Amino acid sequence: MFEKMIVLSDEIHAFIKSKYDEGFNYLLDITAIDYSDYITQQEKDFALVYILRHESFKNYIVIKTYLHELEIETISDIFKGANWLEREVYDQYGISFKNHPNLRRVLNHKEFVGHPLRKSYPITKGQILHETDDLIDEMNHRLLSKGLVCKTDNGLFSECSKDLMFLNLGPSHPASHGTIRTYVALDGETVEAAVSEIGYLHRGFEKSCENHTYNQIIPYTDRLNYCSAISNNIAFVKTVEEMLGVTLSERAQAIRVMLLELSRIEDHVVCLAAVLVDMGGLTNYWYMYNPREDIYDLLSKLTGARLTNSYMRVGGMANDLYEGFEEDLKAVIKKIQHGVEQTLALIKHNRIFHDRTQNVGVISAEDALNYAITGPNLRATGVAFDMRKDTPYYGYENYEFDVVVGSVGDVYDRVMVRFAEIDESIKIIKQVMENLPEGDVNVKDASVTLPDKEAVYGTIEGAMNQFKLIYEGVKVPVGEHYSALEATNGELGFFIVSDGSGTPYKVKVKAPSFTAMSAYPEIIEGSQLADAILTLGSLNIIAGEMDR
């Protein structure tokens, strides 16, 4: 359920404020579209798109505005989550936001010249960075706002109350996933102020989409959230299929549900293993990683790859389940349950675990919504937003499962929500496998899915069909569409602009980790340094998804 509307650019702030008051208080995404190469002339070359979700979580609105000048009022005073999203638009498209508190690049480096997602920017034009940003400037403003430094007469900053020590957490640090940098001001062990820098794994996914066909993009989506590759595949092809207007067979839908849940387990297992290692509980890592290896074995038998499966295709999937899959899956599920049991036995009544996690890294439900945090991180605060229940797809309404919620929104809740979600996912998988419908897994539509190999080698029509689909790609009707599903980290959405060709004109990912990370500096301020590490781990920030 969604509505599209076009608003004048100078009314955007007031309009979004009025929508906010109507209950659209959850900002999904902000992105821009560069229409300069588009098939039909648009009102202006640049447009901004805001996607907001209603507080009932059932419906969303897409607000578009054409820009007469490359400047617009910020909405970061309404949504905290808008801060980084607007910075990204500024970075990638060069559109500035009036009254933005900290308008600077977020994904590209500080020596970067130009705006890469503009159509005029050549895709392969790389720019070398010689020296990393010191972030002192941003830190000083942060300290100033907290009253920890004063501005001297000559415009410099000086410490005025506490004796602070500055420290870089990451990016090359095991607990910062190798790609996240947080610059902290410490008073003893307490984090007084923090600023985060991301973009170390910005691999230009969105730009790469603009010169690949739809099916060629699937391997790129694997590498967004590489801990649960298949769920990214599904989120992408689901959006494309909705634009095409094709309906999947029941069997394909059921298999997708089963694989989505298996990916969820796969991802939660890594997150939990890592966060417990960050806490010093190395044994849990061995317990949790063994079942993950079993999932890998199952998936490589099914898809041919352990980690980056690329299993989905527009209109279905690469192949049907192999014979004996069900028995293999049952065995894997037993092993997962065993691994979870062993881990829980170690931590469930463990005082150290409780002391280290309870009331640590707390984020309130209100803040979480305002930052557009989603998925298990949001549910841990007590908000029962789960797209599988609120806007069901692929027949999720037919399966019985619970939405797990926490109450405090601390590290403990985030960890335990994930443990409980593994159980719920297993429940769903069992239900799917009990009533797996028969039939084809691919839609029978020559303009969407590849013909049978016999037809390709035996008939001229089949050969032409194969050639055109591979060479030109699936032709998606002209339009702009946003669609999402409940991936492991929450609402994973794709906003696709099509110009009718086999290559998308623009793709934007609504990445759950991105918004969670934008809240991170605020969450850790005031907490202990060691707790900041745990908080990061429990948020399950996946850099590939965050930086794209």
Chain positions contacting another protein, by CB under 8 A: 108-109, 116, 121-132, 171-174, 177-179, 199-204, 207-208, 219-220, 222-223, 226-227, 270, 285-286, 289-290, 292-293, 296, 306-308, 543-544
**Pick 177 or 238: Cβ nearer another protein:** 177
For residue 102, which of 118, 117, 88 has the smallest C-alpha distance? Answer: 88
For residue 36, which of 28, 46, 48 has the smallest C-alpha distance? Answer: 46
For residue 270, which of 352, 177, 144, 338 has the smallest C-alpha distance? Answer: 177
Minimum distance between the CB of residue 167 and another protein, rounded to whole angstroms? 15
* CA distance linking residue 103 with residue 90, whole number of Å: 8
Minimum distance between the CB of residue 533 and another protein, rounded to whole angstroms? 13
The bridge status of strand 506-510 relative to strand 490-498 is antiparallel
DSSP 450-512: PPPHHHHHH-HHHHHHHHHHHHH-PPPPSEEEEEEEEETTEEEEEEEEE-SSSS-SEEEEE-H
Minimum distance between the CB of residue 35 and another protein, rounded to whole angstroms? 21
**Pick 56 or 127: Cβ nearer another protein:** 127
Q: Scanning the structure block, which residue is given the tokens 């039909």?
A: 40
**Pick 59 or 132: Cβ nearer another protein:** 132
Minimum distance between the CB of residue 483 and another protein, rounded to whole angstroms? 25
Query: How is residue 486 written in tokens?
Result: 């409940």
Query: How is residue 434 written in tokens?
Result: 């009990």
Minimum distance between the CB of residue 105 and another protein, rounded to whole angstroms? 10
Angle at 263 between CA 262 and CA 265, to 5 degrees: 65
Minimum distance between the CB of residue 199 and another protein, rounded to whole angstroms? 6
**Pick 37 or 293: Cβ nearer another protein:** 293
The bridge status of strand 26-34 relative to strand 71-73 is unpaired
**Pick 490 or 544: Cβ nearer another protein:** 544
**Pick 178 or 437: Cβ nearer another protein:** 178
**Pick 97 or 205: Cβ nearer another protein:** 205
Minimum distance between the CB of residue 181 and another protein, rounded to whole angstroms? 9
**Pick 23 or 114: Cβ nearer another protein:** 114
Q: Please, where are the H alpha helices in 358-443?
A: 365-370, 376-379, 387-390, 411-434
* CA distance linking residue 392 with residue 128, whole number of Å: 45
**Pick 24 or 183: Cβ nearer another protein:** 183
Q: How far is CA 336 from CA 13, 115, 262, 333, in A?
A: 49, 45, 10, 5
Minimum distance between the CB of residue 418 and another protein, rounded to whole angstroms? 17
* CA distance linking residue 72 with residue 48, whole number of Å: 9
| DSSP one-letter code for 321 | P
Minimum distance between the CB of residue 210 and another protein, rounded to whole angstroms? 10
For residue 505, which of 217, 221, 114, 125 has the smallest C-alpha distance? Answer: 217
- Residue 55 dihedral angles phi and psi, to the nearest 5°: -65, -20
The bridge status of strand 2-6 relative to strand 60-66 is parallel
Minimum distance between the CB of residue 357 and another protein, rounded to whole angstroms? 22
* CA distance linking residue 149 with residue 155, whole number of Å: 12
Is the Cβ–Cβ distance between 253 and 312 less than 8 Å? Answer: no
| DSSP one-letter code for 37 | G
For residue 25, which of 57, 73, 62 has the smallest C-alpha distance? Answer: 57
* CA distance linking residue 37 with residue 248, whole number of Å: 33
Minimum distance between the CB of residue 422 and another protein, rounded to whole angstroms? 18
**Pick 105 or 251: Cβ nearer another protein:** 105
Minimum distance between the CB of residue 2 and another protein, rounded to whole angstroms? 31
**Pick 199 or 409: Cβ nearer another protein:** 199
**Pick 125 or 351: Cβ nearer another protein:** 125
Q: Is the peptide bond before 392 cis (omega within 30 degrees of 0)?
A: no
Is the Cβ–Cβ distance between 81 and 90 less than 8 Å? Answer: no
* CA distance linking residue 493 with residue 22, whole number of Å: 23
Strand, helix or coil at 16? helix
Minimum distance between the CB of residue 202 and another protein, rounded to whole angstroms? 5
**Pick 292 or 506: Cβ nearer another protein:** 292
**Pick 204 or 409: Cβ nearer another protein:** 204
| DSSP one-letter code for 392 | -
Minimum distance between the CB of residue 257 and another protein, rounded to whole angstroms? 24
